[in-house]
Amino acid sequence: MATAKTTSGPGGSIAGAARDAILAGVVALGIFGPLVGLKTEQNMQNELVITTRWGLVAIIVGIVIAGRFLLTTTIWPAMTRNKLRDKPPATAGEVAFRARLARWFAPTGLVFLFIYPALMVYFLGFQGSLKWVDNFGIQILIYVMLGWGLNIVVGLAGLLDLGYVAFYAVGAYSYALLATHFGLSFWLLLPMAGILAAMWGIMLGFPVLRLRGDYLAIVTLAFGEIIRLVLINFRELTNGSAGISSIPKITFFGIYSFDVSAPNNFAKVWGLAMSSAYYKIFLYYLILLLALLTAFVTLRLRKLPVGRAWEALREDEIACRSLGINTTNTKLTAFALGAMFGGFAGSFFAARQGFVSPESFTFMESAVIVAIVVLGGMGSMIGVALAAVAMIGGTELLRELDFLKAVFGEGFDPDQFRMLIFGLAMVLVMIWKPRGFVSAREPTVFLTERKSISSSLVKEGHG
Amino acid sequence: MEIFLQQLINGITLGSIYGLIAIGYTMVFGIIGMVNFAHGDVFMVSAFIAMIFFLLFTTVLGVSSVIMALIAVMIIAMVLTGLLNWAIERVAYRPLRGSFRLAPLISAIGMSIVLSNFIQVAQGPRNKPLPPVLSGTITLMERNNFAATISYKQILIWVVTAVLLAGFWYVVQKTPLGRAQRACEQDRKMAALLGVNVDRTISLTFVMGAALAAVAGTLYLTYYGVVNFSDGFTPGVKAFTAAVLGGIGSLPGAVLGGLLIGLIETFWSGYFSIDYKDVAAFSILAIVLIFMPQGLLGRPEVEKV
pLDDT tens, position by position, for chain B (305 residues)? 777 888 888 889 999 999 989 988 888 888 888 888 899 999 999 999 998 888 888 877 777 777 888 888 999 999 999 999 999 998 888 888 877 777 888 889 899 999 998 998 888 888 888 877 777 777 777 777 777 778 888 888 888 888 988 888 888 888 888 888 888 888 888 888 988 888 899 999 999 999 999 999 999 988 888 888 888 888 888 898 888 888 887 888 888 999 998 998 888 888 887 778 888 888 888 888 888 877 777 776 665 55
**Cβ of B289 and A210 within 8 Å?**
no
SS3 state of residue B138 = strand
- Compute the nearest-CA separation of B1 from chain A (Å): 29
pLDDT band at A145; cut points 50, 70, 90 = very high
pLDDT of A138 above 70 = yes
pLDDT of residue A6: 42
Domain residues for the domain of B193 are 2-291
Q: Which run of H or of E encompasses A31?
A: helix A14-32
pLDDT band at A456 (very low <50, low <70, confident <90, very high): low
If you average pLDDT over each of A88-92, A93-97, A297-301, which comes out highest? A297-301
Name which of B26, B113, B199, B305 to mutate to probe chain A: the one with the most chain A Cβ atoms within 10 A of its Cβ.
B113
What's the mean pLDDT in A104-131? Answer: 77
Chain B hits for A363, CB-CB cut-off 8 Å, are 233
- The number of C-alpha atoms within 13 Å of A205 and in the hemisphere containing its C-beta is 25
Query: Do the domain assignments include residue B269?
Result: yes
| Dihedral pair phi/psi, residue A35, rounded to 5° | -75, -30
Cβ pair A245, A354 in contact under 8 A: yes
Q: Is residue B270 part of a domain?
A: yes
B62 touches B180 (CB < 8 A): no
In a domain, B58, yes or no: yes
pLDDT tens digits, B148-199: 778 888 888 888 888 988 888 888 888 888 888 888 888 888 888 988 888 8
| Helical spans, DSSP H, in B98-187 | 103-123, 152-174, 176-186
Span B200-220, pLDDT tens digits: 999 999 999 999 999 999 999
> Which of A214, A423, A460 minimises the CB distance to B114?
A423
Q: Whole-angstrom Cα distance, residue B8 to residue B30?
A: 30
pLDDT beyond 70 at A410: no
Per-residue pLDDT reduced to its tens digit, A422-449: 888 888 888 888 777 776 666 666 666 6
H runs (alpha helix) in A132-185: 139-150, 165-182
Residues 6 or more apart in contact with residue A222 via CB below 8 angstroms: A163, B237, B282, B283, B285, B286
Residue B145 lies in a domain: yes
Q: A263-296 burial string, b = 16+ CB within 10 Å, else e?
A: eebbbeeeeeeebebbbbbbbbbbbbebbbebbe
Residues in chain A: 463
Supply the pLDDT for residue A408.
65
Q: Is residue B301 part of a domain?
A: no
Examine the pLDDT at A345 and tell me if it is beyond 90: yes
Domain total in chain B: 1
The SS3 of residue A164 is: coil
- CATH number reported for the structural domain that contains residue B221 in this entry: 1.10.3470
Q: Which of A437, A455, A326 is nearest to A388 (CA)?
A: A437
Q: Residue A203 in contact with residue A185, Cβ under 8 Å?
A: no
Inside any domain, residue B297: no
**B300 part of a folded domain:** no
Question: What pLDDT is attached to residue B300?
Answer: 66
CA distance to partner chain A, nearest, from residue B180 (Å): 20
Beta bridge partners of B128: B227
- Cα B277 from Cα B290, distance rounded (Å): 20
A423–B117: do the CB atoms touch at under 8 Å?
yes
Residue B302 domain flag: no
How high is the pLDDT of residue B75? 92
Buried b (16+ CB within 10 A) or exposed e, A415-452: eebbbbbbbbbbbebbbeebbbbbbbbbeeeeeeeeee
